[in-house]
């Protein structure tokens, strides 16, 4: 059946997702419109295509047992010189992201993998562009802020064109008050629906 390249992430909702994507493109990052604005849970991972059913079942189980949590972005950071990345910082919700990614990457599960660097939740706004452009991204978004309630995550597949497309969204099983989510309330029913540039 071949292989597919998958990623798991928390989408940054509107209007913030579009704002940051447009800014990323404006800084000269050619990948901006092929990557929906997100917080990574599992980075690009190549797997055998026949593992998809097990991966989907695993993600559904993780989501069903997880609870919604608050997210807040504020200011910028960078991984330079180790990695040519400028990002918006996750200043609230980082613990939730860290717990979630650990469960998604459960060593006993179908998405187990080692990371090249310790996990650090963030929203990339510039990657692999000139130092001057990355400096501009760092300063332009220094006062940026956004907040929302994270109540789901999604599975994405990278196409041969390099564009990441959402395969399915996984709503958490209970909200901040412990009330179970309605079945299918946030599920993307068109499993292969391409994500519009947001």
For 133-192, the pLDDT digits (tens) are 999 999 999 999 999 999 999 999 999 999 999 999 999 995 443 333 333 333 332 222
Residue 37 to residues 26, 40, 64, 177, 178, Cα–Cα distance (Å) = 14, 10, 24, 27, 28
With cut-offs at 50, 70 and 90, classify the pLDDT of residue 117.
confident
58 vs 124: CA distance, rounded Å? 26
Residue 196 has pLDDT above 50, yes or no: no
pLDDT for the residue numbered 8: 98
Q: What is the pLDDT of residues 3-38, one digit of tens each?
A: 999 999 999 999 999 999 999 999 999 999 999 999
* pLDDT tops 90 at residue 197: no
pLDDT digits (tens, 9 = 90+) for 62-104: 999 999 999 999 999 999 998 999 999 999 999 999 999 999 9
**pLDDT 10s digits, 50-61:** 999 999 999 999
Q: What is the pLDDT of residue 116?
A: 87
Q: Is 79 within 8 Å of 87 (Cβ atoms)?
A: yes
Q: Which residues of 14-23 are buried (b: 16+ CB within 10 A; e: fewer)?
A: eebbbbbbeb
- In the sheet with 164-171, reading across from the earlier edge strand, the strands are 38-48, 3-11, 152-158, 164-171
pLDDT for the residue 107: 94
At residue 88, the pLDDT reads 98
The pTM of the full predicted model, rounded to 2 decimals, is 0.84
Q: Is 52 exposed, middle or buried (0-12, 13-18, 19+ CB in 10 A)?
A: middle
CA angle 57, 59, 61 (to 5 degrees): 70
pLDDT at 50: 95
């Amino acid at each position: 059946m071949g292989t597919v390249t998958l990623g798991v992430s928390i989408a940054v909702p509107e209007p913030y997702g579009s704002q940051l994507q447009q800014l990323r493109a404006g800084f000269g990052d050619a990948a901006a419109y092929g990557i929906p604005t997100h917080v990574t849970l599992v980075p690009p991972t190549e797997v055998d295509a026949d593992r998809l059913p097990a991966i989907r079942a695993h993600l559904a189980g993780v989501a069903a047992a997880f609870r919604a949590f608050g997210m807040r972005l504020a200011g910028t950071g960078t991984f330079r010189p180790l990695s040519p990345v400028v990002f918006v910082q996750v200043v609230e919700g980082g613990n939730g992201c860290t717990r979630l990614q650990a469960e998604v990457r459960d060593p006993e599960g179908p998405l187990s993998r080692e990371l090249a660097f310790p996990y650090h939740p963030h929203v990339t706004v510039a990657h692999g562009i000139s130092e001057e452009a990355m400096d501009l991204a760092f300063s332009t978004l220094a006062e940026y802020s956004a907040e929302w309630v994270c109540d789901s995550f999604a599975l994405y597949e990278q196409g041969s064109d390099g564009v990441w497309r959402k395969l399915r969204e996984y709503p958490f099983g209970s909200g901040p008050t412990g009330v179970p989510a309605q079945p299918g309330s946030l599920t993307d029913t068109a499993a292969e629906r391409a994500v519009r540039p947001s």
